[in-house]
Chains A and B, each alone.
Chain A
Amino acid sequence: MLRFEKRDKTPIQLRVLVPICSVLLGLLMGSVVMLFAHVNPLRVYGAIVKGAFGSAYTFSETLVIAVPLILMSVGLCLVYRMKFFNIGAKGQYIIGAICGSYLALFGPATMSRPLLLTLMMVLGTLGGALWAIIPALLKVYWNVNEVIVTLLLNYIASYILWFFMYGTWGTRGFPLSKNFALNAQLPRILPPPSRLHIGLFFGLAAAVIIWIIIRKTRFGYETRVLGENERAARYAGINVFKTVIIAAVISGGLAGLAGIAHTSAVLRVLQLEINSDYGYTAIIAAWLAGLDPLVAVGISVLLAALEAGGYQIQIVMRVPFGIVGVIESSILFCLLAGEIVTHYRVILTRRLSTPPGSTPRIGKKCSVALDERARGGA
């Protein structure tokens, strides 16, 4: 029989070993499927690694995907600690991209590049924050479930983007804005063709700042108490209203920043497909990182590598695209399943030989001792 017992504290070895084993198990599962598809799994995995880390260019492209993941996942680490389950990073990312792009497309053409870019980033951040305030307010005033609200706001955000792209922001009937002027393009940090941009520094800075907030500040402590027990938090004099709103604003703001940074630096045009699904990947990244913002940086890079390498194997190995999905989902599946082992002690017990209700057998050693005591007493 299997029994699960919640751990008080997860040993550090498990925190490291379990994810590694989960990934390997996922790779094994993927291999089985590949063998059925008559593809050599080792060569495919080799190609993924090579496609994600093989050269300076491919690694920089992996980081291009990692940047929005980092920005969003570190923000999620903060709110998830508070048990405010913001599923809406996608929507906040889209609104951020729309708000920032407004300046890029319709702002004064003569504005200097640093000023325009700063304003774009600020506006994008504010847009994302605004989109996150809605569920936060609903939560603190009427206790409306934030999972539902943030999830549904994702769809609304998507349709707002549709509205603008098929409306006056599109060109000649196509859902594609005019190209961003040079002034509105966030600088890239490596020579072309690399598209890695200074958003990477935003992401790393955000991770460090959030880490400090969580570990070293009163506010970070308050979010954690709030997550553990809201009532206790109220008794302790924590301003729940303020704490929830501020945390939601930080998380939404970072997602908004991710949206406008990716749009302005990588796409350089506003369109329907702006990779907003990274908002869902970021949730997985935050969760796998155990809500630690610094770990989330590493996990984001790994998930980005999986995506970048996944597209690459189509080209190099000529395997069907479905294989990529199978590999990615088996790894994620095993990683999430592995979480059970890190958070719970799995105890394998023999079938109880005594019916429930009678004296439980505690263990061989103890029962021997009991027997002896019984004999001694006789």
Chain B
Amino acid sequence: MKFLRISLVVLLAIAFVVGSTGCKTAATPTPTPTPTPAPAAKKLKVAFVYVGPHNDGGYSQAHEDGRLYLQQNDPNVETTYAESIPEGSQSEKTFRDYASAGYDLVFGTSFGFMDAMVNAAKDNPTTKFMHASGYKRSDNLGTYFGRMEQPDYLSGLIAGKMTKTNKIGFVLPFSIPECIREVDAFTVGLREVNPKATVTVVYTNSWFDPAKEGDSAKSLLNKGCDIIVSGVDSPAPLDAAFKAGKYGIGYDMDMAAGMKTPEEAKSVLTSRIWHWGPYYLKVAQSVEDGTWKSGDYWGGMADGIVDIAPVSSAVPQAVIDYVNTRKQLILDGKYTPFDGPMVNQAGKVIVPKGTTMSDADQLNLQWFVQGVIGAIPKSGS
């Protein structure tokens, strides 16, 4: 008992010290959101809200690279980020906190932030909000995204030439339109060069869950797939493919560059990548010069917001040449992966030859093309 009493006294003493100093800090005026007298020109304060860790090696890191690009190329901005913000009730408070801390421009990079941003934007009219992949807009809330379908299609061409089993596995987070567009565009490319090949889809039900992503990839490999395409945010599916001696196709950023060994890098045939930086710079500058207007931006490869990463040395030059000719057609605006004829899983022509699926239909896409093995749960309207 004596020992206990002594230790309690010691702890209490520490308590007093920590407690009193702690209170003092709490009482002193705010730590960081600097109310320091503004220097000559007031800097534009820009915040980014990520759903995953800023260094997830995938989607959130691609945005983080964009933030750093913005920071480096515009001396007149001050940027910050919040990471691992869940899509539940917490996100709304995060957006409100940035608005009340005086941020002029706030980017939310995950679809599930949509209603939180709508609510925060309503009460903070002087802050500009930009939401990636959403569809709700207001006077100070804009939306933006990239046509990842174009790189998806090109990587499908590579996969079609490289597969030996004619079975490709696609690890997909959700059955939302964005992800379905990716699978469809990939399959269009795949079957253009290899009509016998199929794509098997597995859902992980999460944007970022490396363990589950790896397991999903393994289950696809066990089914005989010899190329694993990642539609999720971590490189785990590619690791699984490499360990099984198979190929992978990365997503979000050049995942070959992040691999530990040259062999592993070689197993990544290519990656479909985001280049958010130049776009973020453009948006920030439009806010600075007062020309920013709410709207929807949906850029493609011609804008440079999406691309495919340098192709692995495992891919023959003839294939690379073919991919480059197709890429040029996309850059020139002469081809999109959603040009007809597009046939659904039941074999019915949905987009007739000579027409292209409208943007509105692409944004609500709810069917797989022929060659995809997997189902989409039936959704309400």
Interface residues of A (CB under 8 A from B): 17, 20-21, 24-25, 27-28, 42-43, 45-47, 49-50, 54, 61, 64-65, 162-163, 166-176, 179, 192-193, 195, 262, 266-269, 271-275, 308, 311-312, 314-318, 320-321, 341, 345-348
Contact = CB atoms under 8 A, between A and B. Distances in A.
Nearest to B82: A314
B175 A317 contact: no
Given A175-B176, A273-B112, A311-B94, A169 B380 contact: yes
A21 B12 contact: yes
Interface string B1-37: 1111000100110110011011101101011110000
Given A172-B364, A173-B180, A195-B89, A45 B25 contact: yes
Interface stretch (B96-104, B244-252, B262-270): B96-104
Interface of B: 1-4, 8, 11-12, 14-15, 18-19, 21-23, 25-26, 28, 30-33, 47, 53, 80, 82-90, 92-94, 96-98, 101, 111-112, 114-115, 123, 174-177, 180, 205, 364-366, 376-381
A65 B93 CA distance: 12
Contacts of B366: 172-173
A316 B32 contact: yes
A191 B381 CA distance: 34
Nearest to A267: B89
A320 B89 contact: no
A275 B366 CA distance: 28
B123 A192 contact: yes
A166 B379 contact: yes
Contacts, number: 149
B32 A318 contact: yes
Contacts of A272: 87, 112
B83 A320 contact: yes
Contact of A267 (B88, B177, B180): B88
Contacts of A314: 82-83
Given A173-B175, A315-B33, 19 more contacts: A27-B18, A42-B18, A43-B31, A46-B26, A61-B93, A65-B89, A166-B174, A168-B378, A168-B379, A175-B174, A176-B112, A195-B89, A262-B89, A268-B115, A273-B88, A275-B90, A316-B33, A321-B82, A345-B1
Contacts of A176: 112, 114-115
A129 to B, nearest CB: 24
B176 A173 contact: yes
B329 to A, nearest CB: 29
Given A61-B93, A179-B115, A341 B4 contact: yes
A166 B88 CA distance: 17
B12 A45 contact: no
A45 B177 CA distance: 43
A312 B18 CA distance: 21
A42 B22 CA distance: 5
11 contacts: A170-B380, A172-B381, A173-B176, A174-B176, A275-B89, A311-B93, A312-B97, A314-B83, A315-B97, A316-B101, A321-B84
Contact of A45 (B22, B83, B381): B22
A162 B18 contact: no
Contacts of B180: 173
B269 to A, nearest CB: 29
B85 A311 contact: yes
Counting chain A CB atoms within 10 Å of each CB, which of B98, B180, B378 scores highest?
B378
Given A167-B377, A173-B366, A193-B96, A266 B25 contact: no
A296 to B, nearest CB: 21
A273 B86 contact: yes
Contact of A346 (B4, B31, B83, B94): B4
A365 B176 CA distance: 78
Contact of A28 (B8, B14, B89, B376): B14
Contact of B8 (A21, A27, A65): A21
A174 B111 contact: yes
A20 B18 CA distance: 12
Nearest to B30: A316
Contact of A317 (B19, B31, B379): B31
